[in-house]
Amino acid sequence: MTAVTAGTAETTGAPGGSDAAVAAEQAAYEAVFDAAVAADERIEPRDWMPEAYRASLVRQIAQHAHSEIIGMQPEANWITRAPSLRRKAILMAKVQDEAGHGLYLYSAAETLGTSRDELLDKLHSGRQKYSSIFNYPTLTWADVGAIGWLVDGAAITNQVPLCRCSYGPYARAMVRVCKEESFHQRQGYEALLALSRGTEAQHAMAQDAVDRWWWPSLMMFGPPDDESTHTAQAMAWKIKRHSNDELRQRFVDIAVPQAEALGLTLPDPDLRWNEERGHYDFGAIDWTEFWDVLKGNGPCNEQRISRRRQAHEDGAWVREAAAAHAEKHRAEKHQADKPRTDKHQAEQHQHTAQHGEAQA
Amino acid sequence: MGEWAGSAPVLEEEVALANIALDLLGQARVLLSLVGDEDELAYLREERSFRNAQLVEQPNGDFAHTIARQLYFSTYQRLLYGQLASGDGPFAGLAAKAVKEVAYHQDHAEHWTLRLGDGTDESHHRMQRACDALWRYTGELFQPVEGIDVDRAAMESAWLASVTDVLGRATLTVPEGPRTGAWAAGAGRQGLHTEPFGRMLAEMQHLHRSHPGATW
């Protein structure tokens, strides 16, 4: 770790330095940052980083965290109706994992100087987005399997390269997330396989779900490279390692043989192996639909965000109670701790509050 | 409990409530498998054949109702599994594993009872109302159940002592109403349930019943 830490940076500034001196200092930090990125070193929370890098990461990690939280809804829709106890247990464990992923990711975002409350507020007010895929409805049980196979599959294709992202806390969160996601994806595939090999009605249910989820899954990789505003800078900073179109192609190449093994077809008449390219060619994505969903006009945008806001509002009295209880508890502790030093007390109190939060 | 997914008051509770739901589902699967096919028993029995206590079929209500239900039930489960684990009956192995899980559930419910009871005026009021509303379903937990050999009288007094202690620390009043009634006394164990239960089963069983003989 050779990047300049913020603490070091402050002490090297010349007191009362001229504008030129400040600019030179700024350039020096940037040079160290650029060298660290070029050398594939990890940037850590206390390191100096360009403001735009910080802002870009906050945007991306927050959107990722929001996607985990909103993404619980389409699947939770089937928890009470899952057709066997085993499938119900698998689905509940998955939804629980997603809440856990949301927690890691909000923590990773917080290392950049924001807070979970602030980010949730931006989600609830529509100032930050979540993955457009979760604006599609889960209409049958097979959708749960299709989400596991296709949506988690696309997410993994996107996220595996993020395990090497230049920002340390995000990269480490991704390692944990990817492990669990791969597990979910296998389970989704296995659930679809059971349907595909089941009764005629079950097979039809699986095919219908794949028909509805295939194109939205391809859209998860984002707009085509020539329309992607953030890609070039994100790649230069090594936040992203591959372009949207590269990852989309990689996903198609993996998914096609899996669909064949499942005994299901993909809803694309133009899908065929291209010997020359060594890849599958596939049909045109309906970008009008993509932008429409992104703008809030998908089938479930309103429902998803309303439900999230409702949960937050309904839970306000619970969070207030936890805070009030912690405050009372802190006052009692303050009495008991009087002989101790102020600093020690402050640490104790903070610990108590955090402990209360963590258990909350 | 699974109905809470996506609607919990804080993210940590999304994890905690799903975790508890998953433990309880795991326990149900082991118990059902001791008797027969878990899915046949869960999905193909009708309301009058279910033997669950009425307490656990009560709607989630607000967060306080869910916590009150969990407090009453997990305290009971911890005592029950504690007794079964220390014996050598057919449930000793299952109980030894389950008692660890329900100890966590009880701890979770107790902490929230304290936070809500001794939190704000609103949370205090809501928690008291929830404890009062569910009180009449608690007597049934101590009715004899065929084939389960435990000292129910000892469990009941330990349960009352534990719940009284927690409610007291939470600045709540122990409800005064009866803990059983003509209808509630052991009724769930005879297949007599409350009205929300049929609708819950309709939702839970619909898909399975729509595809007779299918495997999932």
**What confidence category does residue A337 fall into, taking pLDDT thresholds of 50, 70 and 90?**
low
Average pLDDT on A335-343 reads 56
Q: Are B214 and A199 a contacting pair at CB < 8 A?
A: yes
> What is the model's pTM?
0.90
Task: Tell me the CA distances in angstroms from A100 to A65, A79, A173, A191, one per residue in order.
Answer: 10, 18, 11, 23
Q: Is there a contact between B49 and B40 (Cβ–Cβ < 8 Å)? A: no
DSSP A281-317: E-----HHHHHHIIIIISSSHHHHHHHHHHHHHHTHH
Q: What is the ipTM of this complex?
A: 0.96
Which of chain B's residues have a Cβ under 8 Å away from the Cβ of A69?
A: 11
Percent of chain A with pLDDT over 70: 88
Q: Are A328 and B15 a contacting pair at CB < 8 A?
A: no
A356 touches chain B (CB under 8 A): yes
**What confidence category does residue A346 fall into, taking pLDDT thresholds of 50, 70 and 90?**
very low
Q: Cα torsion for A283, A288, A289, A294, to the nearest 10°? A: 130
State residue A332's pLDDT score.
78
Cβ-based burial of A219 (10 A; exposed 0-12, middle 13-18, buried ≥19) = buried
pLDDT per position as a tens digit, A53-82 = 999 999 999 999 999 999 999 999 999 999
| B86, two tokens | 């220390």
Task: Tell me the CA distances in angstroms from B183 to B114, B138, B145, B146, B178, one per residue in order.
Answer: 31, 13, 17, 19, 12
Q: Are A73 and B62 a contacting pair at CB < 8 A?
A: no
For residue A281, the cross-strand partners are A272
pLDDT per position as a tens digit, B162-216 = 999 999 999 999 999 888 866 665 688 889 999 999 999 999 999 999 999 999 9
CA distance A209 to A146: 6
State residue A355's pLDDT score.
40
Q: Which residues, numbered 171 to 200 in chain A, qualify as contacts with chain B under a Cβ-Cβ cut-off of 8 Å?
A: 191, 194-195, 198-199
Average of per-residue pLDDT values in chain B: 94
Interface test with B, best of A69, A91, A92 (most B CBs within 10 A): A92
Which of chain A's residues have a Cβ under 8 Å away from the Cβ of B19?
A: 96
Show Cβ contacts of residue A147 under 8 Å, excluding neighbours closer than 6 positions. Answer: A74, A75, A138, A188, A213
Question: Over 70: is that where the pLDDT of A340 sits?
Answer: no
Q: Which residues, numbered 100 to 129 in chain B, qualify as contacts with chain A under a Cβ-Cβ cut-off of 8 Å?
A: 108, 111, 114-116, 118-120, 122-123, 126
pLDDT per position as a tens digit, A82-100 = 999 999 999 999 999 999 9
Least trusted range by pLDDT, from A59-68, A195-204, A336-345, B30-39? A336-345
SS3 A333: helix
- Residue (of B144, B29, B149) closest to B84 by Cα position: B149
State residue A2's pLDDT score.
47
CA distance A149 to A259: 10
Helical residues (DSSP H) of chain A, grouped into ranges: 6-12, 19-38, 51-70, 72-76, 85-110, 116-124, 141-146, 152-159, 168-196, 200-219, 231-236, 244-262, 287-292, 301-314, 316-336, 342-359
**What confidence category does residue A319 fall into, taking pLDDT thresholds of 50, 70 and 90?**
very high
State residue B190's pLDDT score.
87
State residue A343's pLDDT score.
46
**Sign of the C-alpha dihedral computed for residues B29, B33, B37 and B42 taken in this order:** negative
pLDDT per position as a tens digit, B118-138 = 999 999 999 999 999 999 999
pLDDT per position as a tens digit, A278-303 = 999 999 999 999 999 999 999 999 99
Look up residue A252 and give its amino acid.
V
A195 CB neighbour count, 10 Å cutoff:
28
Tell me which chain A residue has its CA closest to the CA of residue B18. A96
Question: Over 50: is that where the pLDDT of A8 sits?
Answer: no
Average of per-residue pLDDT values in chain A: 90
Least trusted range by pLDDT, from A187-201, A301-315, A327-341? A327-341
Which of chain A's residues have a Cβ under 8 Å away from the Cβ of B114?
A: 325
Question: Over 90: is that where the pLDDT of A220 sits?
Answer: yes
Show Cβ contacts of residue A200 under 8 Å, excluding neighbours closer than 6 positions. Answer: none
Q: Are A317 and B126 a contacting pair at CB < 8 A?
A: yes
pLDDT per position as a tens digit, A261-274 = 999 999 999 999 99
Show Cβ contacts of residue A209 under 8 Å, excluding neighbours closer than 6 positions. Answer: A139, A140, A142, A143, A145, A146, A192
State residue A5's pLDDT score.
52
Q: Is there a contact between A222 and A234 (Cβ–Cβ < 8 Å)? A: no
Question: Over 70: is that where the pLDDT of B159 sits?
Answer: yes
Question: Over 50: is that where the pLDDT of A221 sits?
Answer: yes
Question: Over 90: is that where the pLDDT of A110 sits?
Answer: yes
Q: Are B9 and A359 a contacting pair at CB < 8 A?
A: no
Interhelix angle B121-135/B63-86, rounded to 10 degrees, is 50
